[in-house]
C-alpha cells in the first residue's frame, strides 16, 4: 500500500477559525490534529492536538504546570471559557513553532516512509501532495495508517477495513467549516 | 599604555556597547570580545582558564550552576506555587494585601535562592491570582521585580553582582548578611509603603473576586510531598553551609555544588528535568565577560585606572563610597548590572587593597553592591530579574513598556539608593563598622 491508497479528506480550517469551531472539528471528526489552509484552500500548517489545546491553557500554566492543580471546578470552567475569545491565529502568532513545517508525503510513498515522517515530525496527520510542490491531494491520518499497517500484517478486522474504506469526510462533502467566518475556504481536500 | 593595551580597551568598549545596546545577543558579544582578546594577544589559555584575577572566575560560574540545579529540583515540588497561593489566601483576596504578601515572599525567596529564579517562579502564580482577582497584573509584576532586586541585595547568593563581589573581595555569606541584610529589611519596609502610593491606592476590593481566590486549592500544587521534604532538607543544609563556609574553609561554590549533588541524589529525577533550569546562556556570558575583563587586568589597564583612582581618592573614603553608590546606581540603571560589576570589581579590589583595610575602605564593596543591586531597579534592562518579568508579562498578553517600567522603577531606585547613603555613612563612618 502507498500514500495514494490511504489519502483521505479532512475538514480544513483557516488562521481565522475561532477556537470553538476548531474544537468542534476535532470532536465531531475524532481528529488528533488540524490542517490549516490559506484562503485558496492550500494547506499552510498542520497543528497537532496538544498544540490546539494551548488555546485553552493559559500561558502561565504552560510555564508552571503545577498551577493547573490549584483551580477548583468553577475556576477550571472559567478558564475553559477562554476558548470563546481565541482564534487559531492567536496560536500561530504567539507560538510560530506550533505550526510545524508541512509534513508532506508523495502519492507513491510507502507505509514506512509515511510512518517515518510521522515519527520524525511527531505528527498525527501528514499532507499528501504531488512531488515538487505539486497539487494537494489530501492527508493521511494516524488511524488510517495504523489500519493499513494491520491489514499488511494480515491482522485486519471489519472495523479496521471500515477505517480504510470510509474517509473522515464523505467524498461528496462540500461547503465551509461550520462557524468559520471565512466562508470561501473549503472544508475538505479536493 | 602600549598599543596592545589600547587595542584591548577598544575591543572591550565595542563588546560593552554591543551588550548594552543589545545589537547582538549578549553571549555572542561576550564570546566575540573574549575571542578578540585572544587574537590580539591580550590573554591566553593559561590566563583565561587558570587565573581568577585575569580569567574566568569559576567560583562565580559554579556557584550559579549549583544554585540553578538546586532550584531546578526544588521547582519540581510545586513549593512556590503553594506559597504564592497561600499568601494570596492569607491576604483574604484584598488586592493590596495580596501584593504585599507576594512582594515579601519574593524578597525573602530572592535572598535565599536568587532573584532571577524567584521571579521566574512567582510571576506565573501572580498572573493566575490576578486573573482570579480581576485586577491588572502589571503593578504586581513590577512590584515583584523590584522586590526581588531589593531582597536579593541582602545575601551573597541573592543577586548575581553580589556573587561577583564576594568572590573578588573574598567576602563570606555572613559578611553580606551582617552588612547588607539590616539595611535591606529597612528598605523593604519603605518599599512596601511606596507600593501603596504607586499602585495600592487605586486598588478596589471585590468580595466576589476575593471568593474566587479563596477557592484556589494550594495543596494541590504539591504533587510529591516526599520530594518536597527532601528538597527542603537539602536547601536548609545548603543555607547552613553558606553561613558556615568560612569556618569550614569551603568556597560558596563548593557548598552549592555539594547541595546540587545532594538534591540530584535525593530527588531521583531525570537529568533533563533539573538541567532544563540551568541557564547555560547566562553561564557562558559570565565566562566571556570574565575573559574580557581579565585581559584588561592582564595588560595592566585596570591597575593603571586603580592607581589613578587611589591617587584621586586618597583617604576620602566617604566621598569614594558616595560616588560609587550613586554612580553604580545610575550606570546599573542603563546597562545590565552584571557586566558593570564584573568590570568595576577588580578596580574596587585594587582600591581597597591599597588602603589601610579599615571599615571605611571596605565600605566601598558595600557601596558597590547597594548601588548596582538597587540601581538595577531603575529601568527594564537594569537587572536580569526585570528582563525576566517583562518577558513573562509580554508572553501572557500584558506587555510592559520600557518607559512604564522606568516611571516606577526610577522612583524606587532613587528612594532606596538615597536611603542607603545614610546607612553607609552612619555604620562605617560615624560608628566605624
CB contact under 8 A, B220 and A63: no
CA B111 to chain centre: 9
Question: Which pLDDT value is given to residue A167?
Answer: 80
CB contact under 8 A, B221 and A72: no
B81 to chain A nearest CA, in Å? 7
**Interatomic CA distance for residues A124 and A117, integer angstroms:** 10
**Per-residue pLDDT tens for A181-190?**
444 343 444 4
**Interatomic CA distance for residues A173 and B137, integer angstroms:** 47
Question: Which pLDDT value is given to residue A174?
Answer: 46
Q: Which of A58, A64, A72 is the closest to B81 by Cβ?
A: A64
Residue A133 falls in which region: left (phi positive, over 0), alpha (psi -120 to 50) or beta: left
B90 near B226, Cβ under 8 Å?
no
B386 near B376, Cβ under 8 Å?
yes
Residue A66, chain B, CB below 8 Å: the answer is: yes
Confidence check: pLDDT of A112 > 70: yes
Q: Which of A58, A67, A74 is the closest to B215 by Cβ?
A: A74
CB contact under 8 A, A75 and B124: no
Select the CATH number that applies to the domain covering A3-165 from these four: 3.40.190.10, 3.40.50.620, 3.40.30.10, 3.10.580.10. 3.10.580.10
Q: Show the cell assigned to A66.
A: 503545577
ipTM of the complex: 0.79
Q: What are phi and psi of B137, to 5 degrees?
A: -80, -15
Question: Which pLDDT value is given to residue A189?
Answer: 45
Question: Which pLDDT value is given to residue B278?
Answer: 86
Nearest to residue B290, comparing CAs of B53, B39, B110, B69?
B53
**Interatomic CA distance for residues B297 and B285, integer angstroms:** 18
Which residue reads 553571549 in cell numbers?
B27
B375 near B382, Cβ under 8 Å?
yes
CB contact under 8 A, A72 and B131: no
Residue ranges per domain, chain A?
3-165
- A66 CB neighbours in chain B (<8 A) are 78, 81, 221-223
State the average pLDDT over residues A87-96: 80
Residue A135: pLDDT band (50, 70, 90) is confident
For B248-280, the DSSP string reads TT--HHHHHHHHHHHHHHHH---HHHHHTT--H
Torsion of CA B35, B36, B42, B45, to 10 degrees: 10
Measured CA to CA in angstroms, residue A56 lies from A3, A50, A93, B182, B213 at distances of: 34, 10, 15, 46, 20
- A59 CB neighbours in chain B (<8 A) are 395-397
Q: What are phi and psi of B276, to 5 degrees?
A: -60, -30
CB contact under 8 A, A70 and B124: no
Q: Which helix (H) or strand (E) holds B130?
A: helix B115-133
Q: Which helix (H) or strand (E) holds B346?
A: helix B337-353
CB contact under 8 A, A66 and B223: yes
Question: Which pLDDT value is given to residue B433?
Answer: 61
Beta-strand runs (E) in B58-216: none
User: Residue-wise pLDDT tens for chain B (433 aa)?
Assistant: 789 999 999 999 999 888 888 788 889 999 999 999 999 999 999 999 998 788 898 988 999 999 999 988 998 899 999 999 999 999 999 999 999 999 999 999 999 988 888 998 899 999 999 999 999 999 999 999 999 999 999 999 999 899 999 998 999 999 999 999 999 999 999 999 999 999 988 898 999 999 999 999 999 999 889 999 999 999 999 999 999 988 888 899 999 999 999 999 999 888 888 888 788 988 999 899 999 989 998 898 888 888 888 888 888 889 999 999 999 999 988 878 888 898 899 889 988 888 877 889 999 999 999 999 999 999 988 888 998 899 899 989 899 998 899 999 999 999 999 999 999 999 999 987 6
Confidence check: pLDDT of A175 > 50: no
Report helix, strand or coil for B156. Answer: coil
Give the Cα-Cα-Cα angle A136, A139, A142 (nearest 5 degrees).
160
Report B:165-224 residues touching A (Cβ under 8 A). 212, 215-218, 220-223
B142 to chain A nearest CA, in Å? 16
Question: Which pLDDT value is given to residue B239?
Answer: 94
Q: What are phi and psi of A139, to 5 degrees?
A: -135, 165
**Interatomic CA distance for residues B278 and B70, integer angstroms:** 10
A22 to chain B nearest CA, in Å? 22
Is the four-CA dihedral B49, B53, B54, B55 of positive or negative sign? positive
Averaged confidence pLDDT in chain A: 84
Give the Cα-Cα-Cα angle A53, A55, A56 (nearest 5 degrees).
75
Report helix, strand or coil for B49. Answer: helix
pTM recorded for the entire structure: 0.84
Choose the mutation target among B102, B138, B215 for the interface with A, i.e. most A CBs under 10 Å: B215
A183 to chain B nearest CA, in Å? 29
Beta-bridge partner residues of A2: A110
Beta-bridge partner residues of A100: A46
Q: Which of A63, A69, A94 is the closest to B124 by Cβ?
A: A63
A54 to chain B nearest CA, in Å? 12
Question: Which pLDDT value is given to residue B275?
Answer: 87
Residues with Cβ < 8 Å from B226, sequence gap 6 or more?
Answer: none
**How many CA atoms lie less than 13 Å away from A65 in the CB half-sphere?**
4
B396 to chain A nearest CA, in Å? 6
Amino acid at each position: 500500500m502507498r500514500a495514494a491508497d490511504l489519502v483521505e479528506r479532512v475538514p480544513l480550517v483557516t488562521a481565522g477559525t475561532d477556537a470553538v469551531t476548531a474544537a468542534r472539528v476535532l470532536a465531531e471528526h475524532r481528529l488528533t490534529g488540524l490542517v490549516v489552509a490559506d484562503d485558496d484552500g492550500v494547506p499552510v500548517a498542520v497543528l497537532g492536538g496538544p498544540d490546539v489545546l494551548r488555546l485553552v491553557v493559559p500561558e502561565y500554566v504552560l510555564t508552571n504546570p503545577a498551577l493547573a492543580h490549584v483551580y477548583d471546578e468553577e475556576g477550571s470552567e472559567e478558564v475553559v471559557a477562554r476558548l470563546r475569545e481565541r482564534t487559531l491565529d492567536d496560536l500561530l502568532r504567539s507560538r510560530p513553532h506550533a505550526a510545524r513545517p508541512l509534513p508532506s508525503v508523495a502519492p507513491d510513498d510507502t507505509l514506512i516512509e509515511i510512518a517515518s515522517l510521522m515519527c520524525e515530525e511527531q505528527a498525527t496527520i501528514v499532507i499528501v501532495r504531488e512531488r515538487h510542490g505539486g497539487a494537494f491531494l489530501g492527508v493521511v491520518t494516524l488511524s488510517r495508517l495504523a489500519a493499513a499497517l494491520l491489514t499488511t500484517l494480515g491482522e485486519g478486522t471489519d472495523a479496521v477495513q471500515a477505517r480504510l474504506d470510509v474517509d473522515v469526510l464523505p467524498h461528496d462533502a462540500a461547503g465551509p467549516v461550520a462557524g468559520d467566518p471565512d466562508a470561501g475556504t473549503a472544508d475538505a481536500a479536493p | 599604555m602600549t598599543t596592545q593595551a589600547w587595542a584591548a580597551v577598544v575591543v572591550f568598549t565595542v563588546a560593552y556597547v554591543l551588550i548594552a545596546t543589545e545589537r547582538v545577543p549578549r553571549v555572542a558579544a561576550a564570546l566575540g570580545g573574549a575571542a578578540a582578546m585572544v587574537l590580539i594577544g591580550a590573554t591566553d589559555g593559561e590566563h583565561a582558564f587558570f587565573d581568577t584575577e585575569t580569567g574566568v572566575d569559576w567560583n562565580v560560574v559554579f556557584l550559579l550552576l549549583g544554585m540553578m540545579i538546586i532550584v531546578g529540583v526544588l521547582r519540581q515540588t510545586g513549593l512556590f506555587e503553594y506559597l504564592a497561593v497561600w499568601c494570596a489566601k492569607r491576604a483574604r483576596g484584598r488586592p493590596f494585601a495580596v501584593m504585599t504578601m507576594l512582594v515579601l515572599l519574593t524578597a525573602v525567596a530572592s535572598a535565599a535562592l536568587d532573584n532571577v529564579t524567584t521571579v521566574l517562579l512567582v510571576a506565573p502564580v501572580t498572573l493566575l491570582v490576578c486573573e482570579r482577582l480581576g485586577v491588572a497584573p502589571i503593578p504586581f509584576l513590577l512590584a515583584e521585580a523590584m522586590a526581588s532586586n531589593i531582597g536579593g541585595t541582602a545575601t551573597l547568593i541573592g543577586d548575581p553582582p553580589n556573587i561577583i563581589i564576594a568572590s573578588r573581595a573574598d567576602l563570606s555569606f555572613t559578611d553580606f548578611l551582617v552588612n547588607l541584610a539590616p539595611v535591606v529589611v529597612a528598605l523593604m519596609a519603605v518599599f512596601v509603603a511606596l507600593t501603596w502610593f504607586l499602585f495600592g491606592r487605586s486598588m478596589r476590593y471585590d468580595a466576589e473576586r476575593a471568593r474566587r481566590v479563596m477557592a484556589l486549592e494550594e495543596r494541590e500544587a504539591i504533587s510529591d510531598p516526599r520530594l518536597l521534604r527532601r528538597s527542603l532538607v537539602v536547601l536548609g543544609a545548603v543555607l547552613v553551609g553558606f553561613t558556615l563556609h568560612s569556618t569550614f574553609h569551603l568556597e560558596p561554590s563548593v557548598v552549592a555544588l555539594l547541595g546540587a549533588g545532594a538534591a540530584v541524589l535525593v530527588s531521583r529525577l531525570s537529568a533533563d528535568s533539573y538541567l532544563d533550569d540551568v541557564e547555560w546562556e547566562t553561564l557562558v556570558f559570565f565566562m566571556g565577560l570574565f575573559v574580557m575583563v581579565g585581559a584588561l587586568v592582564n595588560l595592566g589597564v585596570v591597575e593603571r585606572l586603580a592607581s589613578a583612582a587611589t591617587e584621586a581618592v586618597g583617604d576620602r573614603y566617604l566621598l569614594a563610597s558616595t560616588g560609587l553608590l550613586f554612580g553604580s546606581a545610575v550606570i546599573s540603571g542603563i546597562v545590565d548590572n552584571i557586566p558593570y560589576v564584573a568590570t568595576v570589581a577588580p578596580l574596587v579590589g585594587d582600591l581597597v587593597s591599597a588602603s589601610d583595610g579599615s571599615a571605611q575602605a571596605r565600605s566601598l564593596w558595600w557601596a558597590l553592591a547597594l548601588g548596582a543591586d538597587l540601581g538595577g531597579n531603575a529601568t527594564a534592562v537594569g537587572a536580569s530579574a526585570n528582563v525576566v518579568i517583562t518577558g513573562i508579562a509580554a508572553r501572557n498578553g500584558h506587555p510592559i513598556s520600557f518607559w512604564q517600567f522606568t516611571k516606577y522603577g526610577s522612583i524606587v531606585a532613587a528612594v532606596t539608593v538615597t536611603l542607603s547613603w545614610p546607612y553607609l555613612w552612619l555604620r562605617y563612618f560615624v560608628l566605624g563598622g
